[in-house]
Amino acid sequence: MPLDALSTARLLIVGDVMLDRYWFGDVERISPEAPVPVVRIQQSEERPGGAANVARNVAALGGKASLLSVVGDDEAGRSLLRLLAGGDIELCLHVDSAISTTVKLRVIGRQQQLLRIDFETLPSHEVLRHKLAAYVARLPDCDAVILSDYGKGGLAHIGEMIRMARERGKMVLVDPKGDDFSKYAGATIVTPNRSELRAVVGRWRDEEELTRKAEALRVELGLEGLLLTRSEEGMSLYHQGGVLHEKAVAREVFDVSGAGDTVIAALAVMLAGGASWVEAVHVANAAAGVVVGKLGTAVASRGELVAAMK
């Protein structure tokens, strides 16, 4: 397994960044005002989320990450910049004073998520157009592009981005969102989870029907591969060579939030470093097994990955 591929890849990550906030506390009683638990907050944490977490995973695995996105001119945006400034990530974060930085606030009581509150607005067209120019300028210096779509408006020009990258011979990996995947046509690979794929192709009765629907979508969109992440069922790659199934790594699942970020980061770093589809999916599956054993948005380091694969 050429894990050396991890250190040679240069990745350009574009998409929706966000600030993940965690409030941890104890639940000792039910509110007298409504049938809801009262959480006494004892600790809080902030972590980069969305495309920023993808970039963190690329860097943690040893790849060279460049992050292009939009934040608001606000406290959350400044916190995100501060958190990312200490890492090995080249930052190109445009500031849009007309929006609020996307924040996901999770309230955790007794190691269980009780509530999530989202704060978000869409970036302006002018900032997105400016980001497209910055994207073109950075394409020559990368081996592959990751487009991390969280549906927050940061990838309004995704079709153009895919076309530009492919014309320059770059691989494009997309973490998709929504029920219309036509905007991802021409990418190298998309990495939906089960609910995301179901929203596009409908339900399936068995493995045979799933394979038929996934392969039909792959061909329709002109993709080289479609990687379906299946939680406790592992993941399945549909590509020209057939279907490849990877069983989930047998370990306690603590939190699946952010696991998709780790999967696409590991997959991209491996493919950009010259690994085969089989090798890349195997490593991505092992990396996912590392992060689901952690609470909240997390990364899999190269050392953890090596240990997990042993």
- pLDDT, tens digit, for every residue of 254-302? 667 778 899 999 999 999 999 999 999 999 999 988 888 787 778 888 8
CA distance 214 to 81: 38
Angle of helix 302-309 versus helix 277-291 axis, rounded to 10: 100
- What is the DSSP track for 28-84? EEE-SSSSSEEEEEEEEEEEEEEHHHHHHHHHHTT-EEEEEEEEESSHHHHHHHHHH
Residue from 125, 126, 82, 118 nearest 102 by CA: 118
Instruction: Identify the weakest region by mean pLDDT among 35-44, 118-127, 144-153, 169-178.
Output: 118-127
* pLDDT (mean) for 243-251: 83
Tell me what the mean pLDDT of segment 24-52 comes to: 93
Lowest average pLDDT, out of 12-21, 49-58, 150-159, goes to 150-159
Quote the pLDDT of residue 250.
Answer: 56
Query: Is residue 123 very low, low, confident or very high in pLDDT (cuts 50, 70, 90)?
Result: confident
Q: What is the pLDDT of residues 142-157, one digit of tens each?
A: 999 999 999 888 898 9
Residue-level pLDDT at 149? 94
Catalytic pick among 16, 143, 175, 261: 261
261 is catalytic: yes
Segment (H or E) for 91: strand 89-96
More confident residue, 123 or 107: 107
Q: What's the pTM?
A: 0.93
Q: Judge whether residue 1 has pLDDT over 50.
A: no
254 CB-contact burial (10 Å; exposed 0-12 / middle 13-18 / buried 19+) = middle
Q: Please give the C-alpha separations between residue 237 and each of 30, 66, 165, 218, 289, in angstroms, as whole numbers.
A: 46, 26, 23, 11, 17
pLDDT band at 242 (very low <50, low <70, confident <90, very high): very high
pLDDT surpasses 80 at 115: yes
In the predicted structure, residue 235 carries a pLDDT above the cut 80: yes
Average confidence score pLDDT of the chain: 91
Residue 81 has pLDDT above 50, yes or no: yes
Q: Which one has a higher pLDDT value, 252 or 224?
A: 224
SS3 139: helix
* Residue range 89-106: mean pLDDT, rounded: 93
The pLDDT value given to residue 84: 94
246: tokens are 């990877």
pLDDT reported for residue 162: 97
Percentage of residues in the chain with pLDDT exceeding 70? 95
Say how far residue 120 (Cα) sits from the centre of its chain: 18
Residue 106 banded pLDDT, cuts 50, 70, 90: very high
Quote the distance between the C-alpha of residue 152 and its chain's center: 13
Residues near 97 by beta carbon (within 8 Å), at least 6 away in sequence: 72, 73
Residue 156 · residue 178 · CB < 8 Å = no
b/e code 197-228 from CB counts within 10 Å (16+ = b):
beebbeebeeeeebbebbbebbeebebebbbb
pLDDT of residue 253: 60
Q: Please give the Cα distance from 198 to 160 (Å, whole number).
A: 26
